[in-house]
Structure 1
């Protein structure tokens, strides 16, 4: 199953997204701007344009070029965090507010 399945993310991109994407890739010389664990710039070619801060802010300052690996890694972390937040929210519905009778 694709990570985009069931997502409305692409529908929320502006109509001129292809032009924005080309501009950002050109600005970053088609190189991934992500940093490695050694604080060096990734040496892979950029294939994707990533929103630095999640949301619908499509200004150039919030966009960067990244390779597929770094984009999947970041998107995966964000997706896992969102799923964990939903799980915690759902679990709180089923918690008892009073102490268990055997622990009193």
Structure 2
């Protein structure tokens, strides 16, 4: 299995009551509707996932939103790509092998 939770330690970073209290509360509050904005409009499809709006360690309900699987996958992919590019931009330029 690739992607998603494979090789991730995210579950261990979530509070113990994530599945029993926090996640169900956010989904109910958002009426199980995706809150992602696409071209300025709320997606509105059936949400089955809870996403951190900002800091991934801030589990307050006001910092969480319900998302559909497609929107959550897109957002997570974009964040992963942004992190990869940020790391790549920090590496020093490699010297040309012919100049060593």
TM score, norm. by length of structure 1: 0.81
Question: Per residue, is there more strand in 1 or in 2?
Answer: 2
The verdict on how the C-alpha distance between 1:54 and 1:93 changes in structure 2, with shifts beyond 3 A counting, is farther
SS of 2:89's equivalent in the other structure is helix
- Structure 2 unmatched ranges of 5 or more: none
Q: Offset at 1:42?
A: 1.1
TM-align CA RMSD: 1.9
C-alpha displacement at 1:36, in angstroms? 1.9
Shift of 1:95: 6.0
- Distance in 1 (alpha carbons) for counterparts of 2:46 and 2:86: 33
What TM-score, normalized by structure 2, do the two folds share? 0.84
| Separation in 2, partners of 1:76, 1:6 | 15
Q: How has the CA–CA distance of structure 1 residues 59 and 14 changed in structure 2, closer, same or farther, with 3 Å as cutoff?
A: same
C-alpha distance in 2 between matches for 1:54 and 1:73 = 18
Structure 1 residues without counterparts, runs of 5 or longer: 97-104
d(CA) in 1 for partners of 2:90 and 2:95? 11
For 1:93 and 1:54, the matched residues in 2 are separated by 31
Superposed counterparts of 1:1-104, under 5 Å: 1-18=2-19, 19-37=21-39, 39-90=40-91, 92=92, 94=94
Moved over 4 A (4+): none
